Amino acid sequence: MSGTTPPPPRVAVVGVNGHGRSHLQHVLDAHAAGRLRLAAVADPRLDDLPELPAGTRRHPDLGDLLAEGVPEAVVLSTPIHTHAALATAAVRAGADVLLEKPPTATAAEFTELSATVEAAGRLCQVGFQSLGSAAVDHVRRRVADGRVGEVTGYSAAGCWVRTRAYYQRARWAGHRHLDGRVVADGALTNPLAHAVATALAVAGAQRAEDVTAVETDLFHVHDIEADDTSAARVHLAGGRDLLVAVTLCAAERGEPFVVVEGTAGRITLYYTLDTVVEEVPGHPPLVTRHERTHLLTDLLAARAQGTPLRSPLADSGGFTRVLEAVVTGPAPRPVAEGFFERLELPGGDEGRRLTGVEQAVAAALRERATFSELGLPWTR
Ligand SMILES: NC(=O)c1ccc[n+]([C@@H]2O[C@H](COP(=O)([O-])OP(=O)(O)OC[C@H]3O[C@@H](n4cnc5c(N)ncnc54)[C@H](O)[C@@H]3O)[C@@H](O)[C@H]2O)c1
């Protein structure tokens, strides 16, 4: 008896500019390889697209797309404050979803969306792509095997560069709120959100109940409402805590990382590189590199074979508690002129470097203290 191969799953990409362009490219490559079929795209701006396969539908929005036919999976890469409504519409229509991070702009939206996904019996994978890496499992295994002794704490750091053009590319960029909605576009909740989410994954503290309290210490160097230079102490059930220190006003881009500190050593995960460095006194550093599964590939495998998702919505519960604390806590404070340097960039763009911020991030991790607790002059 000859078996019939099922047709490849139909996938739609919603939000095809900005970061969505890399999703579109990935889907085009997978389409060309026959692993899926690009069924449709949706975006109010469809003027500047690469060539799409014949028959790909184009829609101005998701409602229009779903009305013309529901694909098996929808990739949502739209502004943060649109996530809850779009993901709700997609799963209610019967699609599984790869939803960009952060999954929602508020904890209330997160709770509601979780219930909707559950009731619809659909899959919702959150686009923290670092969680597709086997490096996370490796770190957890090494810690469980006692390689660093007893864990004393977790930390995460990131020193990146974002310029004025980044904040001018879209109306919502750099906002905590916009038009009466929570937007949550700060360093901890958007560009360096992976630092928080990956650290929580390494700590085995991804569920909402795993995060018991959050202290935030937020600043902005750019003329924005949200934070671009931020520290947070995240208290975890079980008594450990996670200290995070990040900036988007570094002199140059550094590799962000997550650290597990123990009584006998430490493990550092460079989460964009899938690379782990284990340091135990008396031994040479052990460097390992790991495979990464694309979260859409993982979602389609979960659909087809019932395997667990690498980044299910429920595992963003702890992250969402941090996001909620960032958005509802004290507003980011402006860093005064004189503490940062302005850089003229091509095309009228402007960079801002917070003097000594790399040392401040390092000190925050070393002392397990926020920037304000360190008493840094720009925090006063
Ligand atoms: N995982 C990552 O590494 C990563 C990196 C960058 C951004 N992101 C996330 O991707 C998402 C998009 O960020 P961005 O920086 O690309 O934003 P952006 O504003 O630059 O682009 C968003 C795109 O969505 C479109 N859009 C807006 N509203 C829409 C709607 N209602 N329906 C359909 N399309 C709509 C816009 O026209 C635009 O094409 C955010 O959640 C962001 O956090 C993830």
DSSP 176-236: SEETTEE---STTTTTTHHHHHHHHHHTT--SGGGEEEEEEEEEESSS-SS-SEEEEEEEE
Task: Kindly state whether residue 5 falls inside one of the protein's structural domains.
Answer: no
Report the CATH number at residue 161: 3.30.360.10
In a domain, 30, yes or no: yes
Distances (CA, A) of 192 to 189, 201, 203, 258, 305: 7, 15, 17, 11, 32
If you measure from the C-alpha of residue 379 to the centroid of ligand 1, how many angstroms do you get, rounded to a whole number? 32
pLDDT of residue 188: 98
Predicted pLDDT at 4: 82
75 and 100 housed in the same domain: yes
Residue 362 φ/ψ region, left for φ over 0, alpha for ψ in the -120 to 50 degree band, beta for the rest:
alpha
Same domain, 279 and 362: yes
Q: Which of 111, 129, 147 is the last residue of a domain?
A: 129
Look up the domain containing 48 and give its range: 10-129
pLDDT band at 17 (very low <50, low <70, confident <90, very high): very high
Do 324 and 269 share a structural domain?
yes
pLDDT over threshold 90, residue 80: yes
Measured between alpha carbons, how far is residue 111 from residues 81, 89, 129, 299, 303 in Å?
15, 16, 22, 21, 23
pLDDT at 6: 86
Tens-digit pLDDT profile for residues 48-67: 999 999 999 999 999 999 99
Condensed to tens digits (0 to 9), the pLDDT of residues 203-234 reads 999 999 999 999 999 999 999 999 999 999 99
The one-character DSSP state at 4 is P
Distances, alpha carbon 324 to alpha carbons 27, 106, 215, 308, 319, in Å? 32, 6, 11, 27, 9
User: Do residue 119 and residue 165 come from a single domain?
Assistant: no
Same domain, 146 and 103: no
**Two tokens at 53?**
């396969």
Kindly state whether residues 239 and 164 are assigned to the same domain: yes
Instruction: Give the position, in ligand 1's atom list, of the atom nearest the Cα of 127.
Output: 1
Q: Ligand 1: distance of its center to the CA of 247 in Å?
A: 21
Given pLDDT bands bounded at 50, 70 and 90, which one contains residue 5? Answer: confident
CB atoms under 10 Å from CB of 333, counted, come to 16
| Ligand 1 centroid distance, CA of 138 (Å) | 31
49 and 183 inside one domain:
no
In this structure, what are the phi and psi dihedrals at residue 294, rounded to the nearest 5 degrees? -65, 140
Quote the number of domains for the chain: 2
d(CA 179, CA 126): 25
Report the separation in Å between the CA atom of 285 and the middle of ligand 1, taken as the mean of its atom positions. 39
Residue at 352 is within a domain: yes
Residues 161 and 42 in one domain: no
Confidence (pLDDT) at 122: 98
In the prediction, which pLDDT does 197 show? Answer: 98
The dihedral over CA atoms of 106, 108, 109, 110, expressed in degrees to the nearest 10, equals: 90
In a domain, 58, yes or no: yes
User: Does 373 lie in the same domain as 234?
Assistant: yes
Domain membership of residue 348 (yes or no) is: yes
**Confidence label for 2 from pLDDT (cuts 50, 70 and 90):** low
Are 50 and 84 contained in the same domain?
yes
Q: Which atom of ligand 1 is nearest to the CA of 60?
A: 33
Same domain? 192 vs 118: no
- Kindly state whether residues 111 and 152 are assigned to the same domain: no
The answer as to whether 307 is a domain residue is no
Ligand 1: residue of 26, 77, 133 to mutate (most ligand atoms within 8 A of CB) is: 77
Burial class (CB in 10 A: 0-12, 13-18, 19+), 178: middle
pLDDT tens across 263-312, in order? 999 999 999 999 999 999 999 999 999 999 999 999 999 999 999 999 99
User: Whose alpha carbon is nearest atom 33 of ligand 1?
Assistant: 43
Pocket of ligand 1 (CB under 6 A): 14-20, 42-45, 61-62, 77-80, 82, 100-101, 127, 129, 169-170, 190
Q: Please check the confidence at residue 339 and state whether its pLDDT lies above 50.
A: yes
